[in-house]
Amino acid sequence: MSPLVFIFIISMLINLSHGAMQMPYMTSDPREVSGKSFDYIVVGGGTAGCSLAATLSEKFSVLVIERGGSPFGDPLVEEKKYFGYSLLKTDEYSSVAQSFTSRDGVENYRGRVLGGSSAINGGFYSRASEEFVKKAGWDKDLVQDSYKWVESKVVFMPELTQWQSVVQFGFLEAGFYPYNGYNLEHTQGTKIGGSIYDQCGKRHTSADLLGFGRPNHITVLLNATVKSVIFDGNKTRAVGVRFMKSDGSSSKSYKVHVEKRRGEVILTAGALGSPQILLLSGIGPEDHLNDLNIPVVVNLRDVGRRMSDNPAISLLVDRFSQNRTLEPPQVAAIAEGYKYILESEVLPTNITTTRISIAAKIAFPKSRGRLKLNSTNPRENPSVKFNYLGSKEDLEACLEMVLLLQHVARSETVTFYLGLQNREKLLAGDEELKSFCKDNVRTYYHYHGGCVVGSVVDEDYRVSGVRRLRVVDGSTFEESPGTNPMATVLMLGRYQGIKMLKEREAEKEGDESFLSPQGSPQPQP
């Protein structure tokens, strides 16, 4: 049997084991949806948006508007051997990863493709802690069911690569106990997490989840950027959205609406996109909106506030560039109290060379930042400052985190694998460590906030001050869940979708109880 035939058979078996899927209709022509109405408009076909749309489609019509293109057939997205290349190939309008630099001077990325950041990240899958779920006030059983729904479709147990096996022992040598083996739960110690890469090295993004809804109930509009939410004449209810082509070729605006009685607009555009769209729609701090001559719909002070990104430090443990096989993270080390998270990967530095990184993040940073609009152009990245290491507690935590990283990098297993010549002088002393942290702080790409529950949205993710408008994504989080937030954002889309279906069912039953069999109102007590 040839290798290609073997790979094809394995791929078919994987697809069968994860259930058959039929993808919905997709188009990049705005005229095909302009002027139409849907039960739900989901703005952002990302990590949360696709699982939410698939769930809502079980009973209702859903339009997903995605500012990027399709991930299907794109090797930079789908093939593990090209892991990280999408971050090297960015442009202004069409690349699957869009780069931005925070006002802190730290380079960062956001997904711009159906599947969102699940199409450009390391694919590491790990659930939130029980404490996070409890603090969020979520239904524990529904959370478990929602995680399992996602996992049955796009999550796989990885086969450890050589380097991941090495760094796993490095974590253990550095004291990250106990060893938990393959484990999807967020628990102290060293573990192997799930992966959205299957055994053939193919990535399964959140876009795959659309194929597990009712495809005839879903329409996906690609390469379209939402300009703003449309409200009714009283500015109290969302009735649709305005959008334009993403490619910059035209400024022509189009409109699409939700059904009049109970239709909803749901923002799932991520921690940068969702607060940006609220601000462009006139929902946010009045003074900031006035500065840009945006008519105020709701003076909501906390839109764009309480932004947070986990400060991270990355050590390059191989002294020079080589040409290794690229490796996304498969193993995580979780410190006592979940205080620090460590992972490692082999990343491309260009098309032909790689470096090995061991990186750690502060799980619960105290520093907070803010997002603002640079302009009223929806294609332009907003301005954001995270204030990395801005608090004394964060800076002190970074010192301890660097010491832990050094323990891993200098472990016997790691140094033997890389060669003793790779040993470097240890950083020592608070001042030297502080200087190193300030000079080398970077992102773990787990930024969140801007539409936090309790300040911008309520516990049902409804935006304060208006009806029929919600935000369901990582912008609602005050802290990043688990080792990596992807699993919980995927779960959140499913979780909130089920809750919304139950709400609609309850509303329907209420309507039926109010009407007699002939359709006339029943006498009220």
Q: Which residues are annotated as a binding site for FAD?
A: 66-67, 113, 226, 474
Closest among 186, 136, 195 to 14, alpha carbons compared: 195
- Calpha distance 121→328 (Å, rounded): 8
Residue partners of 283: CB distance under 8 A and separation at least 6: 229, 297, 298, 300, 303, 463, 465, 466
Residue 349 CA to its chain's centroid (Å): 24
Which alpha helices (DSSP H) does 45-154 contain, by range?
47-56, 75-78, 130-136, 140-154
CA–CA distance, 396 with 399 (Å, rounded to integer): 5
Q: Measured on CA atoms in the order 110, 79, 163, 90, is the torsion positive or negative?
A: negative
CA distances, 91 to each of 94, 275, 316, 468 (Å): 6, 23, 27, 35
Q: Which is nearest to 474 in space by CA: 102, 289, 206, 203?
A: 206
Three state DSSP letters for 396-447: HHHHHHHHHHHHHHCCHHHHHHHCHHHCCCCCCCHHHHHHHHHHHCEECCCC
CB count, 10 Å around CB of 313? Answer: 22
CA 276, CA 321: separation in Å to the nearest integer?
A: 38
Structure-token pair, residue 69: 């293109």
Strand partners, 369: 307
Q: Which of 186, 204, 217, 446 is catalytic?
A: 446
Alpha helix segments (H runs only) across 137-226: 140-154, 162-173
The question of whether 446 is a catalytic residue gets the answer yes
Q: Which of 241-274 are b and which e, b meaning 16 or more Cβ less than 10 Å from the residue's Cβ?
A: bbbbbbeeeeeeebbbbbeeeebbbbbbbbbbbb
Three-state SS at 173: helix
Annotated active-site positions, please?
446
